Chains A and B, each alone.
Chain A
Amino acid sequence: MNSDINGDTANKYLTFILATEEYAIDILRVQEIKGWSKVTQIPNTPSYICGVINLRGTIVPIVDLRLRFNLDFQTYGSMTVVVVVNVISSNNKERIMGVVVDGVSDVYDVTETEIKPPPDFGSVISTEFVKGLTTVSDKMVIVLDIDKLLNSDELAIIDGLS
């Protein structure tokens, strides 16, 4: 991703809807978008981890973003969308994860300079996952830092080497 080299390069972002808000993630991190399929629950995990699915032979954990952001739970159905993303963790390991969202919305070009740091607001989501805010055709879009989001708390990789 070239965003670090030149702040004016436009990157493509995929946006999705959660409750009423629109969130954006770097499109290069999106591996695929698929419908809801049955998950296998993992015991003793926080409620926002729905479980794991079999994605062509790979075991992929699914995270419900609504629950992660403490929004109301919405039952899964044929309209539920899972965005499969590549996450890079602290030790540079690449992981594949799925996030459950209400629906995908659009793809925007956003330059690095258009992303403004978020104000310290009393939102339901901790601002540490938010890369910034941007405005696309008069709508505010929250740009998420997917790496931070999916490496926080319970999702963090505990270094296996003890």
Chain B
Amino acid sequence: MTIDLTQVRGLFFEESFENLDIMESSLLDLEIETFDEELINNIFRAAHSIKGGAGIFQLDDIVTFAHNAETLLDEIREKKHTISQTLIDLLLGVGDILRMMLLASKDEVTYDAEKVQICQNELQRILAKPVSEEIPDDIVQTEIEVPDETEKLVVKKWHIEFKPELEILKTGNDPINLFGELQELGELEVEVNVDEIPNFVDIDPQLCYLTWELILHTSATQSDIEEIFEWVIDECELDITEFNSDSSKNIKVNTENQERTEIVENTTPEIENLPDIPAPENITEKPIIKDVANKHIQSNTDSIRVGIDKIDNLINIVGELVITQSMLDQIGENFNSSDICQLQDGLAQLERNTRELQENIMRIRMLPISFSFNRFPRLVHDLSTQLGKKVELVLSGENTELDKTVLEKMSDPLVHLVRNSLDHGIELPEQRKQASKPEVGRLHLNAFHQGGSVVIQITDDGAGFDTEKIRNKAVQKGWITSEEVITEEQLHEFIFQPGFSTSEEVSDLSGRGVGMDVVRRNIRDLGGSIEVKSTVGEGSRFTIRLPLTLAILDGQLVRVGKEIFVLPLLSIIESLRVQNSLVNSFTGAVEIYKLRDDYIPILRLYKIFELEDTITKLEQGLLVIAEGDGQKIGLFVDELLSQQQIVIKNLENNYKKVQGVSGATILGTGNVALILDVTGLIQLFKNKTKSPTHLPLGAIRYE
């Protein structure tokens, strides 16, 4: 009976990466010279969990490394170090190294051991500092030599009696791991006591009948030793006493591995004496893990973390489905024609359940964009330090949901854009001062739903594009002639041209276009678009629009005549009954509604969509005030129906884009409802109400 550790292994890595993320974000939140216990504890816990997990999978190098980091964190926790930028950077580095090591173990490849060593040395250096001495920020590279801690400190001999409870293995703890950790503290001698092993017939292979006596030579304190047993303290009897006898007497040099096999040897013979017994798992487990670990080839099983509310919702729906099914069963058993109404009800219910199930399962694929945004604080932190710039990063709309695939594919383009903004957009503090701007630049990442798309905006308040240089470059590339007059927008378009950036001559602008063509291509591959607005001296804004192919939207169902439409809830400001006295006509073509201080044009949906059998008298219907692209409009509908989350279906897949409609959805009844796009509707409305004589050329296609 062995535990399949491969499954757990994946989980361990996933969890470890999450812990690293926690570590990182907590580190970034730490402020210099202040002591935030909560944050430091968070970091500590994260590091500790990684260490613990790595121990189980015998990733000894990670354990050792994490242990050092943990020691430092512990000292920070005890306020032995003040929090300095150097310290934070060091710990961030530690996180990176851990990530690298974990990734390497996950994919079973080797990593750059040198990097680890450098970081390790750095850690040791800080750890070796006398407790009271503060670490000045500037001595980063002075002494890298590793002082051997153990040499300086007195080595004591500890006697540890460890009597785990029978059930200890069931809690997932393995004494071998504990011994491994103890060994890191110093020389360890292990003696196993097998007196408790019952007769063969009475052996329960899941129980641990062994007790141990350990002798540890270490400079560590009692609390250090106790800490190792922290996880099992409730499941064992533990007695730690200090020997006063000469400690150097019993020292023998063992490498870690020898010691380990020794432990195994100490325990196994007793059991092997009894033939054909399934050996207790803690002992057989060891070789098996190795075997499995070797077989474990990078399995690309991507997983997704789903909020419990979504799962609960699914369970609810499945529950309902089962009820519906049994109801139908009952009807079917003794069916006679009088039951037909019931049958219809049941079938309708079944259809609804299935539909809901489908929609909710699709929701599982949706992740908030924060998954992608969360990496930016670190990126901005690192880059701004590197570039000597001061940048404040503002994130908003992190809860906007995006399909997982889209999210993943958007990651790199976003990083690229943020990098560009930092590198070329935001100026150095002095330059900013000269331009009488605040020294700290602002980089704003924003995400929201608009007009049936997910919009991600990256705004900086930097220098903006140097149009002159772009122009020169474009002329040089032969895209335009030097005399040609083109608009600023057209100039900005050039940055998306492949090959735009390759030039070195465009000094401070070089790289503005590095890979911008790739960014655009990636976004287009997802069916989205990217545009840029830039004002010299004020900054630039990239706007990425992604389609909502799979996105979920909170929708308000409205009825116009016999048709049901969906309005995105986000675009609705309010709904009201029309007071005729407030309606005025404007140039005879447009009706204007006076809403408090605003004049809002009324768009009669039935007119624009040419629907029949609708309410035509304003006072009988409802006016939904909606906003699209900063403009308000009153949509005249017959009535408001329910609000619900809807799954957006793409019309373009099988048809094409329809003006004023951003997509379609399937209602609970199985019918299709079109999702209105307020921005598009306003466009359509403008074009329709314009008198033909003033019709601009471009508008004809909407007729």
Chain A: residues with CB nearer than 8 A to chain B? 38-45, 51-54, 57-61, 95-97, 155-158, 160-162
The interface residues of chain B lying within 8 Å CB-to-CB of A41 are: 563, 609, 611
Q: Is B118 an interface residue when CB atoms closer than 8 A count as contact?
A: no
Task: Please judge, given known A-B contacts A53-B672, A59-B649, whether A43 and B661 are in contact too, CB under 8 Å.
Answer: yes
Among residues of B, the one whose C-beta sits closest to the C-beta of A161 is B524
Task: Please judge, given known A-B contacts A54-B672, A57-B666, A59-B672, whether A43 and B658 are in contact too, CB under 8 Å.
Answer: yes
Q: Is B171 an interface residue when CB atoms closer than 8 A count as contact?
A: no
CB-contact partner of B658 in A45, A96, A156, under 8 A: A45
A59 in contact with B653 (CB, 8 Å): yes
B527 in contact with A160 (CB, 8 Å): yes
Residue from A45, A54, A96, A162 whose CB has the most chain B CB atoms within 10 Å: A54
Among residues of B, the one whose C-beta sits closest to the C-beta of A53 is B672
The interface residues of chain A lying within 8 Å CB-to-CB of B358 are: 57
Q: Is B650 an interface residue when CB atoms closer than 8 A count as contact?
A: yes
A44 in contact with B658 (CB, 8 Å): yes
B655 in contact with A52 (CB, 8 Å): yes
Task: Please judge, given known A-B contacts A43-B661, A54-B671, A158-B657, whether A59 and B563 are in contact too, CB under 8 Å.
Answer: no
CB-contact partner of A52 in B660, B672, B684, under 8 A: B672
B672 in contact with A40 (CB, 8 Å): yes
The interface residues of chain B lying within 8 Å CB-to-CB of A44 are: 608-610, 658-660, 684
What are 16 A-B residue pairs whose CB atoms fall within 8 Å in the complex? A40-B671, A41-B563, A42-B655, A43-B609, A43-B660, A44-B609, A44-B658, A44-B659, A44-B684, A45-B658, A51-B672, A61-B654, A95-B655, A155-B656, A158-B657, A162-B529
The interface residues of chain A lying within 8 Å CB-to-CB of B39 are: none
A59 in contact with B660 (CB, 8 Å): no
CB-contact partner of A43 in B610, B656, B664, under 8 A: B610
The interface residues of chain B lying within 8 Å CB-to-CB of A156 are: 656
The interface residues of chain A lying within 8 Å CB-to-CB of B670 are: 54
Task: Please judge, given known A-B contacts A52-B651, A59-B650, whether A42 and B657 are in contact too, CB under 8 Å.
Answer: no
Chain B interface size, under 10 / 10 to 19 / 20 to 34 / 35 or more: 20 to 34
A131 to B672, CA, bound (A): 34
Contact with A along B636-660 (1 / 0, CB 8 A): 0000000000000111111111111
Contact with A along B516-534 (1 / 0, CB 8 A): 0000000010010100000
Within B652-703, the residues touching A (CB, 8 Å) are 652-661, 664, 666, 670-674, 684
Task: Please judge, given known A-B contacts A40-B671, A40-B672, A43-B609, whether A58 and B654 are in contact too, CB under 8 Å.
Answer: yes
Task: Please judge, given known A-B contacts A42-B674, A52-B672, A54-B670, whether A59 and B654 are in contact too, CB under 8 Å.
Answer: yes
CB-contact partner of A158 in B653, B656, B673, B674, under 8 A: B656
Q: A59-B664, A95-B655 are in contact. List 12 more A-B contacts (CB 8 A).
A: A39-B672, A40-B563, A40-B674, A42-B661, A43-B609, A43-B610, A43-B660, A43-B661, A52-B655, A155-B656, A161-B524, A162-B529
A52 to B656, CA, bound (A): 12
CB-contact partner of A95 in B649, B654, B664, under 8 A: B654
The interface residues of chain B lying within 8 Å CB-to-CB of A157 are: 652, 656
A44 to B660, CA, bound (A): 10
> How many A-B pairs fall under 8 Å by CB?
78
A47 to B684, CA, bound (A): 19
B661 in contact with A59 (CB, 8 Å): no
Nearest-CB distance from A6 to chain B (Å)?
Answer: 32
Nearest-CB distance from A54 to chain B (Å)?
Answer: 5
The interface residues of chain B lying within 8 Å CB-to-CB of A45 are: 658
A59 in contact with B609 (CB, 8 Å): no
The interface residues of chain A lying within 8 Å CB-to-CB of B652 are: 157, 160
Residue from B563, B608, B657, B672 whose CB has the most chain A CB atoms within 10 Å: B672
B653 in contact with A58 (CB, 8 Å): yes
The interface residues of chain A lying within 8 Å CB-to-CB of B649 are: 57-59
A95 to B608, CA, bound (A): 28
Nearest-CB distance from B519 to chain A (Å)?
Answer: 15
A66 to B661, CA, bound (A): 26
A95 to B529, CA, bound (A): 23
A97 to B654, CA, bound (A): 7
A96 in contact with B654 (CB, 8 Å): yes
Among residues of A, the one whose C-beta sits closest to the C-beta of B703 is A44
The interface residues of chain A lying within 8 Å CB-to-CB of B661 are: 42-43
Within B545-583, the residues touching A (CB, 8 Å) are 563
A158 to B527, CA, bound (A): 14
Nearest-CB distance from B523 to chain A (Å)?
Answer: 11
A160 to B525, CA, bound (A): 11
Among residues of B, the one whose C-beta sits closest to the C-beta of A158 is B656
The interface residues of chain A lying within 8 Å CB-to-CB of B673 are: 40
A120 to B702, CA, bound (A): 34
Residue from A40, A43, A53, A60 whose CB has the most chain B CB atoms within 10 Å: A43
B666 in contact with A54 (CB, 8 Å): yes
Residue from A44, A60, A157 whose CB has the most chain B CB atoms within 10 Å: A44
Nearest-CB distance from B147 to chain A (Å)?
Answer: 63
The interface residues of chain B lying within 8 Å CB-to-CB of A97 are: 654-655
Residue from A39, A57, A96, A156 whose CB has the most chain B CB atoms within 10 Å: A57
Among residues of A, the one whose C-beta sits closest to the C-beta of B562 is A41
A38 in contact with B653 (CB, 8 Å): no
The interface residues of chain B lying within 8 Å CB-to-CB of A162 are: 529
Nearest-CB distance from B167 to chain A (Å)?
Answer: 51
A54 to B672, CA, bound (A): 6
Among residues of B, the one whose C-beta sits closest to the C-beta of A154 is B656
B654 in contact with A38 (CB, 8 Å): no
A43 to B673, CA, bound (A): 12
A95 in contact with B563 (CB, 8 Å): no
A58 to B670, CA, bound (A): 11
The interface residues of chain A lying within 8 Å CB-to-CB of B684 are: 44
The interface residues of chain B lying within 8 Å CB-to-CB of A160 are: 527, 652, 657
The 9 lowest CB-CB distance pairs between A and B, nearest first, are: A43-B609, A40-B672, A61-B655, A95-B654, A59-B649, A54-B666, A59-B664, A54-B672, A52-B672
Nearest-CB distance from A40 to chain B (Å)?
Answer: 4
Among residues of A, the one whose C-beta sits closest to the C-beta of B355 is A57
A155 to B608, CA, bound (A): 21
A119 to B651, CA, bound (A): 37
A58 to B674, CA, bound (A): 13
Nearest-CB distance from A115 to chain B (Å)?
Answer: 28
